[in-house]
């Protein structure tokens, strides 16, 4: 019984291998026909067009991966928190400004405003 199942398994594996080879051969044939389907004279012309459209190779190696669009991200400079900044935060909190308004007015982030308020003891403890 087990030997019969082993033989069936081997036959099935052979069928799978033959099917994989057949698929690979068909895929190769289809890929080889692509340039002519899209009106290119050679594979080299087709590849050049694909690379030009995808942006592949337009960046130096190691800088960015292929296909990514060149886009410089705006990097925020780290805010320098001075005594003047702290006194400004204290003054603006006293005048009733919100943390977001203070952050925009001073050009710092909201978490920085919250940290300054906490350090100055301007934040009520949670109950």
- The total of structural domains in the chain comes to 2
pTM for the structure as a whole: 0.41
Residuewise pLDDT in 10s, the chain (127 residues) = 889 999 999 999 999 999 999 999 999 999 888 888 888 888 888 888 888 888 776 555 555 554 455 556 677 678 788 999 999 999 999 999 999 999 999 999 999 999 999 999 988 777 6
Q: CA nearest 92: which of 116, 70, 71?
A: 116
Q: CA nearest 87: which of 55, 58, 122?
A: 122
Domain-located, residue 66: no
Domain-located, residue 27: yes
Domain-located, residue 35: yes
What range does the domain containing 49 cover? 2-54
**What is the C-alpha to C-alpha distance for residues 116 and 88, in angstroms, rounded to an integer?**
10
Domain-located, residue 28: yes
CA dist 90 → 80, 105, 114 (Å): 16, 13, 11
What the block records as the tokens of 14 is 């052979």
Domain-located, residue 45: yes
Domain-located, residue 125: no
């Amino acid at each position: 019984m087990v030997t019969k199942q082993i033989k069936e398994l081997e036959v099935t594996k052979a069928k799978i291998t033959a099917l994989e080879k057949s698929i690979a051969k068909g895929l190769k044939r289809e890929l080889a026909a692509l340039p002519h389907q899209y009106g290119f004279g050679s594979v080299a012309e087709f590849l050049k067009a694909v690379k030009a459209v995808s942006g592949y190779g337009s960046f130096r190696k190691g800088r960015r991966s292929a296909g990514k669009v060149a886009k410089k991200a705006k990097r925020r400079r780290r805010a320098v928190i001075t005594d003047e900044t702290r006194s400004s935060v204290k003054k603006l909190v006293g005048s009733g400004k919100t943390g977001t308004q203070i952050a925009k007015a001073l050009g710092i982030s909201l978490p920085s405003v919250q940290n300054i308020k906490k350090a100055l003891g301007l934040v009520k403890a949670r109950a």
